[in-house]
Structure 1
Amino acid sequence: MEKKLDHIGVAVRNIEDSIAFYTHILGGTLIDRYRNEAEGVESEIAIMDIHGDRTELLMPTNNTSSPIARFIKQKGKGVHHVAYHVGDLKEALKELEKEGIRTLEWSLRTNKHGRRLIYLNPADTGGTIIEYCDYPDE
């Protein structure tokens, strides 16, 4: 199955400063901004478009339980994950299973934009957090 880069997720400490940088320095446009307080997310998210490419800025809203807060404490701010668009998430999951690649099953969800997503287990990806996603309503 073909995979295409969908977006880069960046863990940030201050979303206002990060939006300013992506807007003024990189020439990006703020597409959307929202909070997701769901367990396992607990982040404020700003979606930036930089000349057709997307970056998600991710700031934790709960410094104790947010996975973004844990990431920043362990690794510091910066690239959190790389997301790949797959044609059909269910089929892509079957391919991963055949290859022995595990997912973080708790991360399977649909976001407010209708994007279905799941994270692959970093133990099986060389340490990189990889997201697979699709847009079933498109």
Structure 2
Amino acid sequence: MKIEHIAIWVKDLEKMKAFYENYFNGKANEKYRNETKGFESYFISFDSGARLELMQMPQIPDSKNDVYEQFIGIVHLAISVGTQEKVDLLTEKIANDGFEIIGKPRWTGDGYYESVIFDPEKNRIEITI
């Protein structure tokens, strides 16, 4: 078995699509629209075969979770970029482009080399080898 895709409700569908295409080499399908529900989505595909579904619908309420705190539920996505140098370079590029870095590149106690960033809507993304 494998995880086929993970879905995220978003406010700005186009901005989020551009972020995952630009920084993580994702490829978006054509936008799906359901006019009756006011629902729109993109599937972002990655080289590994994993997909991320970005979904937008006006009536979805904002999360009440504090993005700087941990909470029960899905907390982050981890995206492997292949090498320590690529983790460092991508983290620096994302920081230089004005996105928030909440964990600078480092080796963790369980053997991961990673940084932690926020995407444009404050979802945690671990960038790892």
More strand by share: 1
Q: Could you state the TM-score of these two structures normalised by the residue count of structure 1?
A: 0.41
Q: Could you state the TM-score of these two structures normalised by the residue count of structure 2?
A: 0.44
More helix by share: 1
